Structure 1
Amino acid sequence: MSNIQQSKQATLLLEDGTIFKGKSFGAQGSAIGEVVFTTGAVGFQETITDPSYCGQIITQTFPLTGNYGINSEDCESAKSYAAGYIAREWCSEPSNFRSEQTIDAFLKEQGIIGICDIDTRSLTIHLRENGTMNGMITTDIITDKSALLHKLKAYKLTDTVETVSVKQNTLYHAEKSCKGTVALYDFGCKQSIINGITAQGYDVVAMPYHTPLTGAMRLNPNGIVLAGGPGSPDDYKDMIDNIKPLLKGDLPVMGVGLGHQLLACAAGGKVTKMKHGHRGGNQPVIDIRLNKTFVTAQNHSYTVECASLSENVCEVFCHNINDKTCEGILYKNAPAFSIQFHPEAFTGTGDTHYYLNEFVNMMNARGIK
């Protein structure tokens, strides 16, 4: 008898009243979150441990998850901040020499409630047509649907960056002879971004998201990174004001994900919430400068409005091929740029490492302090 057949029943309830019946895996109980879908065929461990999924219930569109197991080396953060996990089927006998445990065991260890044996294709189509919405996974019997729907409609993601950001300055040493220091604002940074910088000879100091710019400058950094994270930039207006001076300075700056949006807002731009966002490892992005298309990994619900950006301050140099949304901004009055996608992700070719290298080259060009 399969693990699915032996599992306890679980239910996914969406805020519009739609119900999916399935089986429980991972932890048991009830969890509320924003239901989103990710299209990656691999990278499930990195997805579950990506801090930018904080408070979200992740739907894996690929029909099988966990087939190569979980290991202790590939996590993007010390713990998972996801609210829940949805899969069509999970593998109880992973096949990989690096595997240390099943995805089911990992979810139980992290306290993440999962549901499987549901039609994830149908769920994905529903979210695409109706937009991202709140939902609940529960292993309890639903007795008062109307009360739960009221609760789901009222639910709002809050304090996400506060939850995932480091609480104090944290130093990561360069892997080889140290050239200098990068001050990194941690809005929910993935570990692989830090690893990508330390591999090229720079110490990284991850700072709490609310660190004053004067505090970052006391580190005498060679460059500043505004990295990753969940939520909306509109929730962090103090941070927007904090980083505005970077757009008129001479210090290399790279914004990623939420950092990209915050930097755009600091330049006077606006963001809007997307219908269902971009998530997964197959988002096509064209770099106009290079006339080259990259397959990128992303996770975001908001996008920068290109029309809101002043041509005197910046220019959009990357956009999404599917919907033409803004994916990269180059700033004209400072050595600064930002991208919406993950620069360190291996999506098949590793080509997006170009942008991480570009930031490092900007620092190298300024010389070692």
Structure 2
Amino acid sequence: MTPHYKARPHAILVLEDGTVFHGQEYGATGKTLGEAVFSTGMTGYQETLTDPSYAGQIVVQTAPHIGNTGVNTEDNESRQIWVAGYVVRDAARRASNWRSEQTLDASLEEQGIVGIQGIDTRALTRLLRQSGSMRAGIFSGTDAERPVAELIAEVKSSAPMEGRKLAESVSIDEPYVVEPADYGWSGEIRGTLAAVDLGIKSMTPQRFAERGIRVHVFPAAASIEDINRVSPTGVFFSNGPGDPATADDQVKLLQKILRQGTPFFGICFGNQILGRALGFGTYKLKFGHRGINQPVMDRSTGKVEITAQNHGFAVDAPIDSTVTAPNEEFGRVEVSHIGLNDNVVEGIRCLDIPAFSVQYHPEAAAGPHDAAYLFDRFIDVMTETADA
């Protein structure tokens, strides 16, 4: 017998250029505002939703069928869902997976995430590619009954992503430690890492712990004294949301770390902060890179990696030559990785100090795992520096 499904209440997606999409509510009822961006991942929607880097953003899934496997506590990348809103085409009517603990719809509703389903996400994605990411709002319930002109005006009055300082709002309040023994490591501790949480994903300290590294995770507002108190053999800056131009405190912190010669590794937001610490600028991409199928070349080996990415900003550095950093005290710098779709800087390597970073996500929960070697590369740098 074919089950009967009740029609969902009306919802509206409004873009700042005046474009309107009509669909049905998904998740919580109400309204939400944020930057509309699209993610091309075919899998891993739960990891996307719980990635703090998506704070302040309404995420559009280009894959049409979302929610098929439900959600579970094990796959969360942080303590909560961080997206400002969620847009899907065909939401699963039921979850079907042995690991499922809850439907995606119920999880969104429970955490107050306003979404919309049943719209043409392909048309929306094409619009965002052509015009660029833009401010948007999702409205359901009584908000969906308001005049469209009023909704557009509200969207236009919302804060753009440029100039938004968000890392502190998603970071932890108190430090914690991730032990190698908790992830199957039975040998001696190979090193101590101080990781600054700017929106860190739980898989990142796990990847270090699996390799024998004890990880001390610090809040975004950590000081150099906090970090040096644990005598780290390396320092890590995580991914995170917002405009890197607002991260002046973290840039100053990193410059102190580089001056004292402690090995440094950064991912995503951490890559942008390294770029700024070296004296380079950052800029906003038209529609960003979000998904798990982004090709990147490691210029030291010529090898192409398929990578997981989630960034709307990039470092403005010369890609064709080794240069002295604008902040000359840090010596020579080269662009180590480039995006093959558009030649965006995807990695930076310092040649005179032990520091490098990448713009993408080598921890890559839900895959791909081509870039996992970067954890081993940094541990080698930590070990070599400690032995020198």
- What TM-score bracket applies, with the shorter chain setting the length? over 0.9
On the 8 A contact 2:47/2:365 being kept in 1, the answer is no
Gap change, CA 1:323 and 1:3, over 3 Å in 2: farther
Corresponding position of 1:326: 345
Distance 2:351 2:105 in 1: 49
Gap change, CA 1:214 and 1:261, over 3 Å in 2: same
Distance 1:282 1:351 in 2: 11
Of 287, 294, 302, which residue of structure 1 is paired with 2:298?
287
Corresponding position of 1:208: 219
On the 8 A contact 1:296/1:347 being kept in 2, the answer is no
On the 8 A contact 1:247/1:331 being kept in 2, the answer is no
Structure 1-normalised TM-score?
0.95
SS at match of 2:73: coil
Count of residues paired in the alignment: 369
1:124-163 to structure 2, matched below 5 A, reads 124-139=125-140, 140-156=143-159, 157=161, 158-163=164-169
Name whichever of 26-35 and 156-165 sits farther off.
156-165
Corresponding position of 1:168: 174
Distance 1:41 1:203 in 2: 33
SS at match of 2:180: coil
Distance 1:296 1:3 in 2: 41
Matching residue's letter, 1:292: K
Name whichever of 56-65 and 1-10 sits farther off.
1-10
| Offset at residue 61 of structure 1 (A) | 0.2
SS at match of 1:362: helix
Gap change, CA 1:5 and 1:276, over 3 Å in 2: farther
Name whichever of 141-150 and 224-233 sits farther off.
141-150
Distance 2:280 2:112 in 1: 39
On the 8 A contact 1:246/1:334 being kept in 2, the answer is no
On the 8 A contact 2:233/2:263 being kept in 1, the answer is yes
1:266-345 to structure 2, matched below 5 A, reads 266-307=277-318, 311-312=323-324, 313-345=332-364
Is residue 116 from structure 1 mapped to residue 135 from structure 2 by the alignment? no
Gap change, CA 1:15 and 1:172, over 3 Å in 2: same
Corresponding position of 1:16: 17
On the 8 A contact 1:179/1:368 being kept in 2, the answer is no
Distance 2:173 2:3 in 1: 43
On the 8 A contact 1:247/1:267 being kept in 2, the answer is no
1:1-369 to structure 2, matched below 5 A, reads 6-139=7-140, 140-156=143-159, 157=161, 158-175=164-181, 176=185, 177-307=188-318, 311-312=323-324, 313-345=332-364, 350-367=369-386
| Offset at residue 239 of structure 1 (A) | 1.8
CA deviation vs aligned residue, 1:58-100 (integer Å, no higher than 9, x gap): 1000000111121110100010111110000111222221111
Segments of structure 2 that go 5 or more residues without pairing to the other structure are: 325-331
Distance 1:125 1:348 in 2: 25
SS at match of 2:352: coil
CA deviation vs aligned residue, 1:171-201 (integer Å, no higher than 9, x gap): 1222334333210111101111111011111
Distance 1:148 1:293 in 2: 44
| Offset at residue 304 of structure 1 (A) | 0.7
Matching residue's letter, 1:171: V
On the 8 A contact 2:43/2:366 being kept in 1, the answer is no
Distance 1:44 1:76 in 2: 11
Gap change, CA 1:233 and 1:159, over 3 Å in 2: closer
Name whichever of 44-53 and 205-214 sits farther off.
205-214
Distance 1:207 1:45 in 2: 25
The percentage of counterpart residues that share the same residue type is 38
On the 8 A contact 2:37/2:128 being kept in 1, the answer is yes
Distance 1:37 1:114 in 2: 14
Segments of structure 1 that go 5 or more residues without pairing to the other structure are: none
Name whichever of 312-321 and 354-363 sits farther off.
354-363
Gap change, CA 1:2 and 1:254, over 3 Å in 2: farther
| Offset at residue 251 of structure 1 (A) | 1.8
CA deviation vs aligned residue, 1:278-329 (integer Å, no higher than 9, x gap): 0010111011111110111111110111239971231001000000000011
Distance 1:86 1:364 in 2: 45
